[in-house]
Structure 1
Amino acid sequence: MTFLHLGLLLVSIGCIALVDARYRLFFWRAPLRATLVVGLGVAMLLAWDVWGIASGIFFREPNAYSTGLLIAPHLPIEEPVFLVFLCQLAMVGYTGTLRLLARRSPARPREEVRP
């Protein structure tokens, strides 16, 4: 049993959180709303995973990088952690893109845009 995959996911979540904190893009801008968005995103994607597993589309093959710990048949513990990372990355990327586009917009004076 190795924790390489899980550890790398947690490190990645931490790195995205540092970018988020530095620029106050998502969690550090509206923590309650961000938690709700990530929670709903993870719940929806987990439901999709469960449907895929039940349909025989998704399955887990043992490998040397995962813990081997399962939440349910064919649903490793790493999956919800990955889904948290995926939702967090998507929202930090989205809010960062909005911030960049707002800075370049000629319709808004530069002094109105927060860094």
Structure 2
Amino acid sequence: MGILYLAALLVSLGGMVVLDRRFRLFFFDRPRRAAVVLAVGVAFFLLWDLFGIGLGIFFRGETAFMTGILIGPELPLEELFFLTLLCYLTMNVFRGVHMILLSGRVRRGQGLG
């Protein structure tokens, strides 16, 4: 049971990839740009976590659903996958909303400008 949370994160990441591929939202639209944006986003939130841990604000909660593997003090392995999911989801939603709004403008004959 100690891998359940990580498995759920991986399934969710898989869902993000499926949506991305189907609608060409992020990696399947501009892979290089997407890789940079995702890496910067994950790095930002990892630094955020490390500062929070250093200040004693964040700490690892004990649960039977996590692997127990730490990649840093008070920083579980699952956090890396959670932050990746968070950033990937955000970019998919951002691009999806942008595409919906753009297609609505084109259909109404308002053009792109």
* Shorter-chain TM-score range: over 0.9
CA distance in 1 between partners of 2:10 and 2:20 (Å): 15
Q: Distance in 2 between matches of 1:25 and 1:60?
A: 33
- CA deviation digits over 1:56-95, x for unaligned, max 9? 0000121011101001111000001100000000000000
- Equivalent residue for 1:51? 51
TM-score, normalising length: structure 2: 0.93
Give the Cα separation in 2 of the matches to 1:93 and 1:50: 27
Which residue in the other structure is 1:20 paired with?
Answer: 20
User: What's the C-alpha RMSD, in Å, of the aligned pairs?
Assistant: 1.1
In structure 2, how many angstroms separate the alpha carbons of the residues matched to 1:92 and 1:61?
29
Identity of matched residues, %: 45
CA distance in 1: counterparts of 2:7 and 2:73, whole angstroms: 22
Q: Tell me the number of residue pairs that the alignment of Structure 1 and Structure 2 aligns.
A: 109
Matches within 5 A, 1:32-47: 32-47=32-47
**Alignment gaps of 5+ in structure 2:** none
For normalisation by structure 1, the TM-score amounts to 0.91
Within a 5 Å distance, the mapping from 1:1-115 to structure 2 comes to: 2-105=2-105, 106=108, 107-108=110-111
Amino acid at match of 2:10: L
The residue identity in structure 1 corresponding to 2:61 is: E
Cα deviation, residue 108, structure 1: 2.1
Runs of 4+ in 1 over 4 A off after TM superposition: none
Matches of 1:78 and 1:22, distance apart in 2 = 26
